[in-house]
Amino acid sequence: MTDPNKIIINLALFGMTQSGKSSAGNILLGSTDFHSIFAPCSVTTCCSLGRSCHLHSFMRRAGREVALQFQVLDTPGYPHSRLSNEHVKREVKEALTHHFGQEGLNLALLVQRADVPFCGKEVTYPVQMIQELLGHAWMNYTAILFTHAEKIEEAGLNEDKYLHEASDILITLLNSIQHKYVFHYKKGKSLYEQRMKILERIMEFIKENGYQVLTFK
């Protein structure tokens, strides 16, 4: 029986190798569920699901406090240094169906390093996979999570200036997904502050989407 005082939010992470997917997943969960290290190759080789503890006093519904729990699906980098594109797509498709087939996916997060230009053919691969797996409604269920955003400040820029100078391909993507994006800064904030800022932004996207979910058959 569904608990009216509890909401489960389902998220899936997509992105290129070493974009920071697993690290971002740990921030979202407030844990170290996902293995995350720097390496000259792809680290994640299979999909895995992490669940956060319940967050209380985060939001209210109908005058009542609602507990939130986030479920995050970490996926292999795409393209991958050791696995074929077809293998990764098949692995992710099966994981989406297994974990979110009936409950549904609230949001796909395209994880992109802010300190790496969004240009060239390879940067579009994760977007293409999202489009293929999520279908024609992918734009309503996709947001960008920019990692390493502290590099923006180090370069003397702010978020608006950064996006103003972004590549045409990134601007086109942002327009397609109704400018759903959030920046993750590692410096100057506690892990708790980093997490809360990102989760609050994600919940804004989900509310704007009317808490709709994308199911997988």
Q: Which domain holds residue 87?
A: 6-206
- Asked if the structure places residue 187 within a domain, the reply is yes
Write the pLDDT tens digit of every residue in 22-51.
999 999 999 888 877 776 777 788 999 999
pTM for this model (two decimals): 0.93
Which CATH number characterizes residue 98's domain? 3.40.50.300
The model's pLDDT over 57-115, given as tens digits with 9 standing for 90+, comes to 777 777 788 899 999 999 999 988 888 999 999 999 999 999 999 899 999 999 999 99
The answer to whether 206 touches 168, Cβ cutoff 8 Å, is: no
Bridge partner list, 182: 145
The C-alpha atoms of residue 47 and residue 20 are separated, in whole angstroms, by 15
Q: Could you tell me if residue 217 is inside a domain?
A: no
Amino acid (one-letter) located at 200: E
Rounded-to-integer distance, Cα 69 and Cα 76, Å? 23
Provide Rg for the chain, Cα atoms. 17
Beta bridge partners of 171: none
